[in-house]
Amino acid sequence: MMKYYLAVDIGASSGRHILAHLEDEKIILEEMYRFTNGNVTRDGHLCWELDRLFEEIVNGIAACAKAGKAPSSMGIDTWGVDFVLLDKNNQILGDTIAYRDSRTDDMDKLLETMISPEELYERTGIQKQLYNSIYQLLAIKNEHPEYIKNAEHYLMVPEYFNYLLTGVMMNEYTNATTGQLVNAVTKDWDYELLDRIGIPSKIFGKLHMPKTSVGMLKPEIAKKCGCQTEVILPATHDTGSAVLAVPANDDDFIYLSSGTWSLMGIERKYAECSLKSMKYNFTNEGGYDYRFRYLKNIMGLWMLQNVRKEMNTDNKTYTFPELIAMAKEADGFPSIVNCNDSSFLAPKSMTDAVRYYCERTGQKIPQSMGEVMVVIYNSLAQSYKDTVAELEEMSGRKFTRIHVVGGGCQDMFLNQKIKTFTGKEVYAGPVEGTALGNLMVQMLKDGSFKTLEEARECVASSFDVKKVD
C-alpha cells in the first residue's frame, strides 16, 4: 500500500497542499489543493486571516482523503516572525498583525534604550529587520500592554495551526530563531534578553527540533478531514525547509531560495555574530539539526509581483512571460535600485516607488513598464552579486556555483542575470523547494531516509535541475 506524506506550504500570497510518495527510489510530488493568502486591513493594520487559512488547511487534507490518498503524516511551514498571543482560555489576544504593517516603526529606537544593536546581534546573530518578532512584541507592549499582561502562550503561525489541528502547543526551533529572541550559543530562548525588554518568559515553551511529532488530529478535526494523520514538525520556517531541498551535499555552493523573498546564503555549523557580519547585515537563522543558515534577506520577487498586480486590469491580465518579454526589450536600461530599501517593503505603488528611487538618487527614470521591470531584474542580480562577494569574504572561501530553489527558479531571465552578474555557475531547481524540504523531514522521521545526505541525493535524482547556459 502506497504511503503518502503531506506538506502544507503557506506563503504570503498563496498556500499549497503538496503530497509525496516514494516510487522506484524517487520522490513523486502531486499538488492536491491550492488557496490564496494575503493581508486584510482591520482597524488600520494589515492582518492575516488565520481562521480562513485554517479552514483551507482542513479542506486540503480532506481533498487528499477524498482522492484516496490520505497522508500518514503532514507538516506545516509558513513565513517567519509572525505569531499569536493566547490568553488563559487559549484565545488570541488582538488581531494577528502581519509583518509588513507599520506598527513597528520607531520600535528600534525604543529597543536601543534596553540593549545596544551590537549586543543584540552578538546574542542572537539575527539581522535587524523592523518586522522581527522582538519589535512586534515591543509594539504590542507599547500599544496594548494588557495583551502582554494576559498572555499565557506565544505561538508562531504554523505552531498555532498545529495547535488547532491537534490540541498540542509546541514551539519549533527554526522559526523561533527568525524573531531575534533565541540565543545563538545556547540555541534556546534568550531569557535574559526577554527580562530586559519586559516580556514574560513564561509564555515561551520548550523549543523542539524538526522531526518531532506534535500529535494526531483531534477527533473532530479528523472527522472533517475524512482521515487521521500524524502532525510532524518540519522546519516550520519556509526558508529552513527550502534549504533542506538543495540537491547538493558538498560545501562548494551558495543557495538562493527564490520567492516573494530572496534568501541567499550558506550552511554553517556555528553562528557568525561578529560586528563585521552585523555590518554586512547577515543573519544566522537556525536550521535542521542545529545547522545555521547564514544568509541575507533580499526583497525578491515581491517587487515583480507588485508591478504585475498594478498592471493587471479587468480587461487585461499580464502573465509573467509577457512581463519578462517587456523586460528583455528594455534590457540595457542603466538604473539600479537598492532592493532592500524600506520604500519597497509595502508601497502603495511599486512602480512609483522604483521611479521615485531613481529620481532621488539622480539616475535615469524608467518610463515604460519594460524599463521598470528590467531595473528590478538588474537590481536583484546586483544584490545577489554583492551578497556573494560578502559571503566569500566572511567565510574566507570561494564558491563555484549557486543553487536556485523555489518558485523563482522558473524565471530563466533572472537566472541568466544571476549568472552574468555573479560569474558563477547557476543551477535552477527544484521548483517546490520549500514543500520538498518539509516532506524530506517527514521521510527522515519515519526512516525512509537515514540521513539528510541520503535525502538530498534522492532529490538530485528525482527532479530536473537545470544548469543555466
CA–CA gap between residue 200 and residue 175 (Å, rounded): 19
CA distances from 234 to 158, 170, 213, 374, 390 (A): 10, 12, 9, 37, 30
H/E/C letters for each residue in the chain? CCCCEEEEEECCCEEEEEEEEEECCEEEEEEEEEEECCCEEECCEEECCHHHHHHHHHHHHHHHHHCCCCCCEEEEEECCCCEEEECCCCCECCCCECCCCHHHCCHHHHHHCCCCHHHHHHHHCCCCCCCCHHHHHHHHHHHCHHHHHHCCEEEEHHHHHHHHHHCCCCEEHHHHHCCCCECCCCCCECHHHHHHHCCCHHHCCCEECCCCEEEECCHHHHHHHCCCCEEECCCCEHHHHHHHCCCCCCCCEEEEEECCCEEEEEEECCCCCCHHHHHCCCEEEECHHHCEEEEEEECCCHHHHHHHHHHCCCCCCCCHHHHHHHHHHCCCCCCCCCCCCHHHCCCCCHHHHHHHHHHHCCCCCCCCHHHHHHHHHHHHHHHHHHHHHHHHHHHCCCCCEEEEECHHHHCHHHHHHHHHHHCCEEEECCCCHHHHHHHHHHHHHCCCCCCHHHHHHHHHHHCCCEECC
Report which residue type is found at 232.
I
Decide if 430 contacts 410 (C-beta within 8 A). no
Query: Catalytic annotation on 386?
Result: no
Q: Which of 37, 35, 9, 450 is nearest to 240 (CA)?
A: 9
Q: CA 89, CA 64: separation in Å to the nearest integer?
A: 32
Residue 315 corresponds to which amino acid? N
Q: Are 10 and 77 in contact (CB under 8 A)?
A: yes
Select which of 9, 82, 238, 411 is catalytic.
238
| Catalytic positions | 238
